[in-house]
Amino acid sequence: MKCYLCLYRSKQRQMDKNQDLKDRREASKLGGGEARIEKQHSQGKLTARERVTLLLDEGSFNEVGQFVEHRSTSFGLEKNKIPGDGVITGYGTIHGRLIYVFSQDFTVLGGSLSETHAAKICTVMDMAVKNGAPLIGLNDSGGARIQEGVVSLAGYADIFYRNTRASGVIPQISVIMGPCAGGAVYSPALTDFIFMVEDTSYMFVTGPNVVKTVTHEEVTSEDLGGAKAHAEKSGVNHFTAANDVVALTKVRDLMTFLPQNANELAPQPTVHKFNKSKLKNIGSILPENSQLPYDIRKVIDCVIDDESFREVHQDFAKNIVVGFARVDGRSIGVIANQPIALAGVLDNDASRKAGRFVRFCDAFNIPLLVFEDVPGFLPGTDQEWNGIITNGAKLLYAFAEATVPRITIIVRKAYGGAFDVMNSKSIGADLNFAWPTAEIAVMGAKGAAEIIFKREIAAADDPETKWLEKEAEYAEMFANPYRAAERGIIDAVIFPEETRAKVISGFKMLENKAEVLPKKKHGNIPL
């Protein structure tokens, strides 16, 4: 009887322990409690755990650090301990590929970052680097936990350090799904791409109240650091989404274009489509008058696989288009001057936007396809005083540094220093093709004629007629691709309808491209 009783008690204790684990898990899943979860939902926001569930493949999430609690006793914090300490961390899969993730829980102390909260994030960051898998951060936090003082700030620094070390090793993506202020903004800024949700997400170093106190400016959170402000004005935000669900869907889609790490290639779908009828249309996109604009996206669409273009920074620096696409199933990065915005010139914002995108693609083995129609750099005091020299050099440096396969298509204008900067053969492009409509010259015919034939024009009985005559003479000589082709600066002049085939065969030929670089710690890009 005694033995049976012992067995019964032992079994009961085991059952109690199992129940205790279940209770603890349920408590962790509740975060800050039902009331705070309801408030989160009423604001149009999902909970941290709901976001992870939507982001990852069904049933693939494995949580790490579920029962971690803070150790602070200041300001009564010892009475407010919640398992997980305001952030969910772990790993799972997206489209069957390993992904590491953290998701801040605003229902727990406003998602504020504590010492242990930061340690949890650092743990998955270290795992991601060691195992060569992307890291996705879902940010929804009021910032550093002020009750903990400097240790919370040190926690941010630990994260920043790892962001920097992981840069170029694994893709890092930040999704801003709530407030992100103060030191909290710098971790996303160190990552590769930032998604923001309209109306519910904000990023700023200092909020509206501080701005009002210091500068006396009246500004709302939305105007100061909302998704639209950072998409259009600052360029901090790469992708904008209408709500949490759309944002997470877009992240899942983006991952299909990216490799796991710097030592791998992006996945290549077994099935891809291309409507061959588009080849008949590509030649008619450009207007007969070379001074008139057109949408370069139409040209891009006629070359890449159907519906494969994913534009990055769509609302910022619209005079240049960058984004991911596929050609014959292969993931590529596309950079293209956009004639419908500022005639496609390069300015400060466009140079920074394109330069950063080029460097990302180069870091992760994504070939580069460039469509060039650039009349030059934008002149003016605003551009010069805001650093067009340095900013233009960023794009130049990015292309010159890139070792991935690089192909350029000169569609129309390729003038001056901008011709060099836009992936010319002289800065390392592998293949440069030009359409018959290409104009490759130091500058436009009108300006060139004015300089070269200044005396003749001034001495003529009819200077205006003489100017037009000399403009036509210069255009006949230089406003074509054949001078460049004669010198080997252009590899071939091709018909527009041949572009896709040339691009496919070119990238196929360059599959095993390898470069031996000078030994150095790193270059000094003109930041």
**Tens digits of per-residue pLDDT, 123-142?**
999 999 999 999 999 999 88
Residue 373 is part of which domain span? 278-444+479-509
pLDDT band at 257 (very low <50, low <70, confident <90, very high): very high
What is the rounded distance in angstroms from the CA atom of residue 86 to the CA atom of residue 47? Answer: 11
Q: Residues 232, 119: one domain?
A: yes
pLDDT tens column, 95-118: 999 999 999 998 887 888 888 999
Element (H, E) at 407: strand 406-415
Which burial class, exposed, middle or buried, applies to 127 when counting CB atoms under 10 A from its CB (0-12, 13-18, 19+)?
Answer: middle
Structural domain count of the chain? 2
Question: Would residue 427 count as lying in a domain?
Answer: yes
**How crowded is residue 401: how many other Cβ atoms within 10 Å of its Cβ?**
16
What is the rounded distance in angstroms from the CA atom of residue 101 to the CA atom of residue 93? Answer: 10
Question: Would residue 525 count as lying in a domain?
Answer: no
What is the sign of the dihedral through the CA atoms of 138, 144, 150 and 152? negative
Question: Would residue 361 count as lying in a domain?
Answer: yes
SS3 string, 361-404, reads HHHCCCCEEEEEEECCECCCHHHHHCCHHHHHHHHHHHHHHCCC
Phi and psi at 139, nearest 5°, equal -95, 125
pLDDT tens column, 159-177: 999 999 999 999 999 999 9
pLDDT tens column, 199-224: 999 999 888 989 999 999 999 999 99
| pTM of the predicted model as reported, rounded to 2 decimal places | 0.91
Are the C-beta atoms of residues 199 and 156 closer than 8 Å to each other? Answer: no
CATH code, 193: 3.90.226.10
Residue 448 reports pLDDT greater than 80: no
Residue 18 reports pLDDT greater than 60: yes
Question: Would residue 514 count as lying in a domain?
Answer: no
Q: Residues 191, 328: one domain?
A: no
Q: Which amino acid is at 338?
A: Q
Which burial class, exposed, middle or buried, applies to 518 when counting CB atoms under 10 A from its CB (0-12, 13-18, 19+)?
Answer: exposed
Q: Residues 297, 203: one domain?
A: no
Which burial class, exposed, middle or buried, applies to 122 when counting CB atoms under 10 A from its CB (0-12, 13-18, 19+)?
Answer: middle
Q: Residues 197, 306: one domain?
A: no
61 vs 146, more confident: 61
What does the buried/exposed string (b/e) look like for 285-301 if buried means 16 or more CB atoms within 10 Å of the residue's CB? bbeeebeeebebbebbb
What is the rounded distance in angstroms from the CA atom of residue 88 to the CA atom of residue 28? Answer: 10
Mean pLDDT, the chain, rounded, equals 91
Q: Which amino acid is at 517?
A: L
Question: Would residue 490 count as lying in a domain?
Answer: yes
Question: Would residue 18 count as lying in a domain?
Answer: no
Are the C-beta atoms of residues 300 and 336 closer than 8 Å to each other? Answer: yes
Q: What is the DSSP string of 105-167?
A: -TTTGGG-B-HHHHHHHHHHHHHHHHHT--EEEEE----B-GGGTHHHHHHHHHHHHHHHHHT
Q: Which amino acid is at 169?
A: V
Q: Residues 349, 497: one domain?
A: yes
Q: Which amino acid is at 452?
A: I
524 vs 85, more confident: 524
Q: Residues 308, 426: one domain?
A: yes
Residues labelled catalytic: 182-183, 417-418
pLDDT band at 74 (very low <50, low <70, confident <90, very high): low
Q: How much is the pLDDT for 3?
A: 67
Q: How much is the pLDDT for 68?
A: 77
Q: How much is the pLDDT for 470?
A: 73
Q: How much is the pLDDT for 438?
A: 94
Q: Which amino acid is at 376?
A: G
Q: Residues 221, 299: one domain?
A: no
**How crowded is residue 428: how many other Cβ atoms within 10 Å of its Cβ?**
14
Question: Would residue 145 count as lying in a domain?
Answer: yes
Q: Residues 134, 226: one domain?
A: yes
Mean pLDDT, to the nearest integer, of 186-193? 96
pLDDT band at 195 (very low <50, low <70, confident <90, very high): very high
Q: Residues 352, 223: one domain?
A: no
Q: Residues 177, 221: one domain?
A: yes
Q: Residues 408, 493: one domain?
A: yes
Residue 473 reports pLDDT greater than 80: no
pLDDT band at 28 (very low <50, low <70, confident <90, very high): confident
Q: Residues 290, 225: one domain?
A: no
8 vs 394, more confident: 394
Q: How much is the pLDDT for 418?
A: 94
In the structure encoding, which two tokens stand for residue 297, read together? 């996206």
Residue 85 reports pLDDT greater than 60: yes
Q: How much is the pLDDT for 10?
A: 67
pLDDT band at 318 (very low <50, low <70, confident <90, very high): very high
In the structure encoding, which two tokens stand for residue 420, read together? 């060099």
Q: How much is the pLDDT for 271?
A: 85
Question: Would residue 266 count as lying in a domain?
Answer: no
